[in-house]
Amino acid sequence: MNILTQIKDKAKNLKRRVVLPEGTEPRMVQAAKKIIFEGIANVTLIGNRKEIEPLAKDCNLNLDKVEIINPTHSPDYNTFVEDFMELRKHKNISADEAKTTIAKPLFFGAMLVRHDKADASVAGSVNTTGNVIRAAISVLGLKEGINTVSSCFMMTIPKYRDELNKVFLYADGAVMPNPTAEQLVSIAASTADTMKNLLGIEPKIAFLSFSTKGSASHPDVDKVTKAVEMFKREYPDIIADGEFQLDAAIVPEIAKSKALDSVLAGDANILIFPDLDAGNIGYKLTQRLANATATGPIIQGLSKPANDLSRGCSVNDIIDVTAIAVLMKG
């Protein structure tokens, strides 16, 4: 069975609630209808009911089945404003700034997740990745033990070696432009978590570089070898190794010649790229040249799930990301 179908089936069993902060965007309303119809999640739309009503009518969405919240009219608004002031007190935020911020759908949606009134939020059909992530970071904060929010792409390769629909996770292809060694460790730990909790597959992590096990020396290589050492010390139970060139990470025959002693033996299923340039180019190369399906970015490292969409997303993309987001709660 296709991995996304499996994810949707798992989501259906959990009957969780997703908040869609961009509730006045037609694709979001159409997605809400299908998410409810397929039983993937209950839905909260943020926005003005008067604006949502005609969109719902256009796609035959029965609004009795949806919760609609207009932030400033919500009984939770004042509580969320006070909570946000407390969260941002290190920035000396004023009451007026907090009120204006929490009135914004992205921030109000994140507050619903923070206060367990929704299990996950999904946005990005009209907002940029940066804005979606900034709202999530400031309201939800980081998962314990993680020092950076990051992302991964789930890459499904139609045929890799003898395996059909082989799944890899690539990180980070969307969030962290120039990670330090410490941040690479967090990116790898979060991606291992995503592999285990979302896909139920044992993570096997390769830290990528232009060098394999000391074949080249350069400060960029040093950053990756430092991350590998730190990761192995902090997460001794997770299979991980590096630094590897891509072929030594995923081709057993090449691993035998370039990295004979490695625990990975050319069988990695998580690829940690040294920076965002490499990660973003890498996932798009695989998508275009190997005809792979790229699902994501899946945002990871937050205390509770908030996921992003591409602004060019389709209704089906929103449904897929919703299923992933509600499962990310663990």
Q: Which is nearer to ligand COA, 225 or 300 (CB)?
A: 300
How far does CA 271 lie from the centroid of its chain?
A: 15
Q: Residue 122 or residue 133: which is nearer to ligand COA going by CB?
A: 133
Residue of the chain from 30, 70, 148, 262 that contacts ligand COA (CB under 6 A): 148
- Cα–Cα distance for residue pair 107/80, rounded to 1 Å: 9
Window contacting ligand COA (CB under 6 A); options: 64-72, 73-81, 173-181, 229-237: 173-181
CA 313 – CA 106 distance, rounded (Å): 17
Q: Which stretch binds ligand COA (CB under 6 A): 12-20, 44-52, 130-138, 320-328?
A: 130-138
Does 184 help bind ligand COA (rule: CB under 6 A)? no
Structure tokens at 275: 């920076």
Among the listed ranges 22-30, 116-124, 172-180, 222-230, the one in contact with ligand COA (CB under 6 A) is 172-180
DSSP structure class, residue 306 = E
Strands 306-308 and 120-123: parallel
Q: Residue 66 region, left (φ>0) first, then alpha (ψ -120 to 50), else beta?
A: beta
DSSP characters over 96-114: HHHHHHHTSHHHHHHHHHH
**Nearer Cβ to ligand COA (147/215):** 147
Decide whether 53 or 83 has the Cβ nearer to ligand COA: 83
- Work out how close the CB of 174 gets to ligand COA at its nearest, in angstroms, rounded to a whole number: 4
Report which DSSP code applies to 71. G
Q: Is 174 in the site for ligand COA (CB under 6 A)?
A: yes
Query: Judged by CB under 6 A, does residue 149 bind ligand COA?
Result: yes
Tell whether residue 133 is a contact of ligand COA (CB under 6 A).
Answer: yes
Instruction: Compute the C-alpha angle 66/5/292, nearest 5°.
Output: 120
* Interaction between residue 307 and ligand COA (CB under 6 A): no
**Rounded distance, CA 308 to CA 128, Å?**
9
* 239 makes contact with ligand COA (CB under 6 A): no
Of residues 36 and 93, the one with the C-beta less far from ligand COA: 93
Q: Is residue 208 close enough to count as binding ligand COA by CB under 6 A?
A: no
- Say if residues 16 and 41 touch (Cβ distance below 8 Å): yes
Q: Which residue in the shown chain puts its C-beta closest to ligand COA?
A: 130
